[in-house]
Structures are given as C-alpha cells and as structure tokens.
Structure 1
Amino acid sequence: MADNYNNERIQLLAEGDIGSALFKLSAPAVAGMMVMAIYNVVDTFFVSLLRDTTAVAATGIVFPLFQLIGSIGLTFGMGAASVISRKLGENDYKEANRTAATALYTSLGVGIVFALVGATFIKPLLILFGATDSILSTADLYGRVIVGGSIFQVSNMTLNNILRSEGAALHSSTGQIIGAVMNIILDPLFIFALNMGITGAAIATVISQGISTLYLASYYFRDKGAVNPFKRSYFHPTVRTYRNIMNMGIPTFVRQILGSISFAIVNNAAGVYGDSSIAAVSINSRLFSLLMMALFGLAQGLQPLAGYNYGARRFDRVRQTIRIVFSVASGIGLFAGILCFIFAPAIMRVFAPQDPDVIAMGSEAMRMMALSLIPVGLVIMFGGIFQALGNGRYALILAAGQQGLFLIPLVLILPRFFGISGVFAAQPAGFVFALLVGMILFFRQSNVLKARETQMLEG
C-alpha cells in the first residue's frame, strides 16, 4: 500500500503548485459531479421523448427522494473525507484508515435500511414530495425502483469522497463517467426498445450506478490507495471516529435533507398552478443541478488540498487555495448566468417541445435563477472551505440557512404576492441571503486562520 509521504498524490497536496494541484483535483471532480447530475438530466430527456408531461413531472417528484438517498452517502463520504485529508496531513494513517472503513461500512448498513423502509412507504413519501393524483401512479413506478437500488447510490457517493480525500480524483471521476455513459446507453434500451417506459429509466439508472460503484471499488481491491476502506481490520468504530465524521458530515446531511424538504415545498407550491408548472420546476431543477454539481466539484477539489495543508500547518497554501476558488467560482457563475438568461427559451424547448406553458414558465424560472449564479458559487465555496478546515459548526449554519431558514419561508411567502413567479424567485433570493451569512462566517474563519498562523510562528 502507498502509505508514505512520498506517495505521488500526497506530494501533490503537500508541495504541488496550488493552481496546478487545484486543477488536477477539481477538474475530475467537476466532471464527476456533473456526471452525477447528468444521471437525472438524461432520465428527464429520454422520458420527455415519451411526450407525456405527467411522466416528466413524475421524475421531478422523485428528485428530492433521489437527493435524500444521496445525502446518506454524502454525509459519511464528505464527513470522512475532511477527516482523512487532515489526518494524512498529520501523517496519522491509522486514524485515516479507521475513518474510511467506518464511513463505508456504516453507510452501507444505513443504505440497506433506507431501501427497505423507503420501498415500504414509497407512496406516502411521494405525496409528501408533491405528487398530485394524476402523477402519483407514474411517480410510484419510477421511485420504487430508485429506492430499491439506493445501496448503489449510497456506496458510490461514499467511495467517491474517500477517493478524493487522498487525491485520487481521476479514478473517482472515471467511475462516475462510466456510470453516466452506461445510463445514456441503457435509457433508450429499457425505455423504448424493451417498452418499459418510465420504469425502464429507473432500472437503467440503478444498473449504471452499480457498474460505476464496482469500478470505484476496484481501486481498493487492487490495493492502490493511501487508505483502504474495505479492509475489515480497520473497521473498529469508536465514538470519537463517528463524532469526527458526523462533525463534518452533518452539515452535508442537513443541506441535502433541507434541500429535499424545500424541493417538496416548491413542488407543492407549483402544483397549485397545474402539472405544467411542476414540469417547469422539475426541468429547471435538473438543469441547474448540472451547474451546482460543477461548483460542488470545485469545492470537493479544494477540500483535500486545503484540508491536508491545514493539518500540515501550511496556512499560506490554504489561503492561496481559497483565493483561487473564489475567482473561479465567480467566473463560472457569471458565464453560466449570461448563457442561461439569453438562451432560456431555447433550452426549455429541448425538454418540452410541444408544451408552450412549460416553455414559458420554465424560461421565466431559468432567468431568475441565472441572476443568482455568482452568489450560488460563492455560497458553495464557503461551505467547502468550512468543511475542509474542520469547522462543522459554520458549515452547518450555512447549510441550514441556504436550504431551510431562508428558502422555505420564501417559498411559502412570495407566491402569496407574486403567484407562480414567487415560487420561481424563492431559491435565487434564498441564495442571496445565504451569501450574506457566508461572508460574515468566512470573515470570522479568516481571523481564526490568522490566529493559528501567528501562534505557530511565535511558538
């Protein structure tokens, strides 16, 4: 096993040029995270070819459930990744391995339980997430399969983040790309060739995730990692290990759970205006998940780099990493915002070519979201920085504000005054409020970083 400081990936974290290292870590992460979003967009696209607005809306109803499943893997994966990066920086390989194994085996257990419980209560969950009487039966066909295969999504998310924590971003992203390519191939096969409709889309997604997960696991089966989460001898969970994982994982869990809740509230609010409004919200959510996943990929790239150097007390490298990601995130937000604002109607026509109501409402929603993409990028970077530096409290505050304290009240209040436009405006407005909170927290985190650096120099 590569268990020494001279490991090539560890050298990249410790000594590599910051810009180059960030690119090497973030580019595969961005590609990989976008691929995860493509799973949903591909399903929506092929389902839209059925020329059934109800089917498109059904995929949107299941989307928060899909997020909920992913939150399990992200909670353990991102929580462990933050700890692993810092422990590798401290040369504490024993605790890094224990953390990796604890995260993987625990997430698998929780994923199995979720699959059993979710399949049992699938219809009440779909109603909670906004399914109308006309959508429920179709959403049930899609959601039941997605929930049944949740073990693959959970393990995929956990392994992805563990791989990234030690700098193996390329293998991680390759696994995700393999899954996306398989989904693109299998979707038309199951939906049209086998005439399985929306159920076929769900089956294709689950099979694709399973293949992707096997590829990710092969990295550790070949004993190539700086850690090995599959090695049973490392699975000795302790209260301290769980506490460390949860300290960093809970903010991710809260963000995902509140995201699912707020999306359900958005679906219910949009449902008042008909199935076409739900379809418009669904399409926009899938499309913007592409951009947000790209930004989360950038945040994932910064985490091992900032976390390792924070653990190694290389604070100059931490600050340089932060400056670069802020610039890149702002640039992405500006560029994507301009494109989405200008081409919103053309983009919506791809997914709803024969429904002018969906095109009109979806274009309005897209343009509103486009105006907030710079705040979106900065908020995501703030969260990544707090997690990388081990500040779970700030990450939790930001996550709760972003998806809950701001968004949910706005979804409930704005439609009373602005109708369906208020539903569309709620999420962009929520991100602007979250940005203000993030700036305050980041200023305080910067002071802590400076104090630690001063203490090191004086000591």
Structure 2
Amino acid sequence: MHRTKDNFKYLTTAPVPKVIMTLAVPTIVSMLVTSFYNIADTYFVGKINTQSTAAVGIVFSVMSIIQAVGFFFGHGSGNYISRKLGAKEDEAASRMAATGFFLALSLGVILMLLGLLLLRPLSYALGSTPTILPYTERYLGIILLGSPFMIASLVLNNQMRFQGNAAYAMVGIVAGAATNVILDPILIFVCDLGISGAAIATVISQVFSFCLLFYMGRREGNIRIHYRNFTFSWSFVKEIIGGGTPSLARQGLASISTIFLNVSAGNYGDAAIAGMSIVSRIGMFINSFLIGFGQGFQPLCGFNYGAGLYARVRQGFWFSVKVGFIFLLCCSVAGMGYAEEIVALFRKGDPLVIETGSAALRWQLITYPLGAWIILSNMMLQTIRKSVRATILASARQGLFFIPLIFILPYYLGLQGVEMCQAVSDMFTFVLAIPLSGGVLLEMKRKEAVAKR
C-alpha cells in the first residue's frame, strides 16, 4: 500500500490546480475516447440507413441503464474508498472494493438474462416504430451479452480513479474504445454484418476493456479485488446506496428521458428520432470533457474532505467550475455557426435528419455553459456524501424537469418543443443547483473557520 500513502500525501498537500490537472488529463482522455467510440457507432451505422441510426439511438437508453448500474456501484464504492483512504483506514477500503465489484457483476448477469427474455416488448417500450424494430432487436440482443462486462468495467474504472490512480483506469478504457473504433468498419462493411457488426464490435471491446482493467487493478498502488474480501453487510450496502444513488438517479433518469424523447420524436417520423439521437451523442461528447475534468476533482475532494481539509475542497471546486465554464462557452460559440455541418457528418443523405438535428443542437448549445456548475456541484455533493442533495440535483436535469417538459412543450410547440426541451430543463436545473451546492460550500467555510480557532 506504499503507493496509496504517496497518493494521500500528494492529494492533501500539492497545489490544488496541479493535482486536479494531473488527475483530470487521463480521465478526460478516457471520457473523450469513450464518447468518441459511441459517436463512431452512430457515424458508421449512419452509413447504412436512417432506421439503423434511429435504432442505435433507441438502444442507447438501455446502455444508459447498464451504465447507471455500473456508476451506482463504482461511485458508491469509490466514494467510500477515497474517504477511507483519506482517513487511513485501508482495510475497510479493500473490503468495499471487493464488495462493490462482485455485487455489480452479479446484477449485470441478471439484467442480461432479463433483457434477452423480454427482447421484443423491450424494443417496443423503448420507442421502436415498426420500421425500426428489426434493427433494434438485432442491435440490442447482441449489446445485452456485453452488459456484465460493461458494468464490471465501470466499477473497476471508478474505483481506480477514487484511489488517485486515474492513469491505470485510462489505459483500460482507451484500449477498449480503440478496439471498438477499429472493429466497427471492419465488421459493418468488410464482413457485411450491418448493424449487427456494430453491436459485436461494442461487445468485444467491452470484454477486452474489462480484462485489461482487471489486470491493471492488480498493479502496485491499486487495491486488489479478492473474493475473500467480499463483505455482504448492511453497512456496506448502505454506503453503496448513499454514494451511488445520485449516479443511478442521473443515469437511470437519462435513460427514461431518452425513451420519452424517442417516443415524442417518433410522432414526427424516423428522421426526427435519428436527428435527436445524433444530437444526444454530440452533447455527450462535449460534456465528456467536463465530466472527465470533474472526475479529476473527485479524488482530491474525497481525500481532503475525509482529512478535514475543507479549504482545499472549496478551492478545487471553484477552479474546476471556472475551467469547465470557459470550455463549454467556447464549444457553444463554435457549434452555433456549424450546426448543420456537424449533424451532416453522421447522416448526410437525409435533409430531414439534418434539419431536426441542427435545430436541436443550437437549442442545447445555448445552455451548455451552465452545465459546469450543474455537473461539478453534483460531483462534489456525491463525493462528500451529501446524498439527498446530490440525488435531487442528479434527478433534476433528466427527470424532475425534463420528463414533464417532454410532454408539455411538444403539445404546444410541436417538433420545436422536442428540440428545445433539454435546454429549458438545463435552465431550471441551474437555478436549483445554486442553493443546493452553495449551502454546502458555506458549511465547509464555517467548519474551516472553527478549525482555525
């Protein structure tokens, strides 16, 4: 555990901007590459037909549920691990690492079996039209086979990050993503497997990523996963629920909102579903930088909060918000002028897809800079175990506001209501995030003042 002790010293004493930048670079790379291979699926499948593009967007909601489970266990166990390492309680951290991993892997197998048994009704429930259904069933049936590996990979990735070993986590994720990007065109076009080839490429990349992450987890400085450390106790389960529920709410509601979005867009044809699917992937790619940067902040946040160094937590939060806001503002300004060209990269041959997608993209770009405060506030609240506030905020953007709006706005504004729904939801979420995170920042400032007396 020598490397763990070095991490404690570095995270609690080195200059805050330097720590965050050092930890953020590998997580940003991981997030960008992961988003890129999701975009690659959309890009290559878009060369087949509009129905295949729409099917990938529909199945994305299931992938969001799978990711939600992975983040639930990964963040739930990871937050606990970082706090215990900050408090120098290494044995408790080791037991939590094994418990989170094996619980997640077991649930992944259960979800895979249920999904395969209910494949057709699930495809309809996700928003498939009769013309999209055959493509959805083919793609989803294969994707489900990789769900246990995707969930387990996310747990390993997040546990490494919260230990301050983001570089190890990056290697596993990037290698898997690169494998997917290489296999996509080979299996789709060279082997003539169509949308099934895209799904097979994704599953192979997930298995490869899992194997590599498990191997990297046994390198020096990481907590090794051993079944003998598995501890099924209520105290550990409660910690996972408390630390992981915000992620589950955020990702789970994102999945539900995507289903409602697809159903609502489906009223305006397959092209509308395809256009909104493309915009969702573009938004995910842009936000992946901010999420990666925030993941660089989380280990510093967890270690220093556990060690009672509240000034460093606040300093790290404000530094991350400023950097995130500037980046998203630049993306918004650049994207406004080239919305049609960006959407056309994915489905050039369908003017209706470009028209719908470019309008939706411009609406979303208006509120993108606000995401810096929203996302980083949620990450801070979750890491320091302010579970209720974190869950409320995580639920707001894709649930509390988005789901009612996706019914209300299209009713009055038609397709434009679908296109602008996310932007309006983001505005309301930003207003909610200010008091939720502001109160905690003031609380830490008061604790800091008391400690100095």
TM-score by structure 2 length? Answer: 0.98
Distance 2:251 2:120 in 1: 21
RMSD between aligned alpha carbons? 1.2
Alignment of 1:254-265 (within 5 A): 254-265=249-260
Map Cα deviations across residues 45-104 of structure 1 (whole Å, 9 max, x no partner). 111122x10110110010100111111110000111111111111001111111111110
Alignment of 1:190-229 (within 5 A): 190-222=187-219, 224-228=220-224
Code of the aligned partner of 1:14: T
Distance 2:452 2:241 in 1: 32
Tell whether the 8 Å contact from 2:70 to 2:151 is kept in structure 1 after alignment: yes
Matched, 1:316 2:314: no
SS in structure 2 opposite 1:352?
A: coil
Matched, 1:248 2:243: yes
Code of the aligned partner of 2:223: V
Range moving further from structure 2, 362-371 or 29-38: 29-38
Tell whether the 8 Å contact from 1:219 to 1:225 is kept in structure 2 after alignment: no
Tell whether the 8 Å contact from 2:104 to 2:151 is kept in structure 1 after alignment: yes
Corresponding residue for 1:47? Answer: 45
Distance 2:17 2:3 in 1: 25
Corresponding residue for 1:17? Answer: 15
Corresponding residue for 1:75? Answer: 72
Distance 2:72 2:2 in 1: 26
Match of 2:93 among 87, 96, 99: 96
Code of the aligned partner of 1:26: A
Match of 1:271 among 262, 266, 277: 266
SS in structure 1 opposite 2:268?
A: coil
Distance 1:33 1:78 in 2: 15
Match of 1:301 among 286, 291, 296: 296
Match of 2:186 among 176, 181, 189: 189
Map Cα deviations across residues 257-300 of structure 1 (whole Å, 9 max, x no partner). 11111110010100000000000001111111111222211221
Matched, 1:398 2:396: no
Map Cα deviations across residues 230-276 of structure 1 (whole Å, 9 max, x no partner). 11222122111111111010111011111111110010100000000
Corresponding residue for 2:336? Answer: 341
Distance 2:284 2:360 in 1: 14
Distance 2:244 2:333 in 1: 34
Distance 2:261 2:107 in 1: 28
Distance 1:95 1:367 in 2: 48
Matched, 1:128 2:128: no
Tell whether the 8 Å contact from 2:4 to 2:221 is kept in structure 1 after alignment: no
Code of the aligned partner of 1:136: L
Deviation, structure 1 residue 11: 2.7
Deviation, structure 1 residue 454: 3.3
TM-score by structure 1 length? Answer: 0.96
Range moving further from structure 2, 263-272 or 442-451: 442-451
Corresponding residue for 2:111? Answer: 114
Alignment of 1:173-184 (within 5 A): 173-184=170-181
Code of the aligned partner of 1:219: M
Quickly say closer, same or farther: Cα 1:238–1:277, change in 2 above 3 A: same
Corresponding residue for 1:350? Answer: 345
Q: Which runs of 5+ in 1 are unaligned?
A: none
Match of 1:368 among 363, 368, 373: 363
Match of 1:171 among 168, 171, 174: 168
Tell whether the 8 Å contact from 1:258 to 1:400 is kept in structure 2 after alignment: yes
Distance 2:159 2:271 in 1: 40
Tell whether the 8 Å contact from 1:2 to 1:226 is kept in structure 2 after alignment: no
SS in structure 1 opposite 2:345?
A: helix
Deviation, structure 1 residue 4: 5.5
Matched, 1:435 2:433: no
Distance 2:122 2:32 in 1: 27
| Sequence identity percentage | 35
Deviation, structure 1 residue 3: 6.3
Tell whether the 8 Å contact from 1:98 to 1:237 is kept in structure 2 after alignment: no
Distance 1:286 1:364 in 2: 15
Code of the aligned partner of 1:20: K
Q: Which runs of 5+ in 2 are unaligned?
A: none
Matched, 1:141 2:147: no
SS in structure 1 opposite 2:2?
A: coil
Code of the aligned partner of 2:411: R
Deviation, structure 1 residue 456: 2.8
Quickly say closer, same or farther: Cα 1:63–1:4, change in 2 above 3 A: closer
> May I ask how many residue pairs the two structures share in their alignment?
453
Deviation, structure 1 residue 390: 1.3
Deviation, structure 1 residue 457: 3.1
Range moving further from structure 2, 275-284 or 344-353: 344-353
Deviation, structure 1 residue 226: 4.1
Tell whether the 8 Å contact from 1:315 to 1:449 is kept in structure 2 after alignment: yes
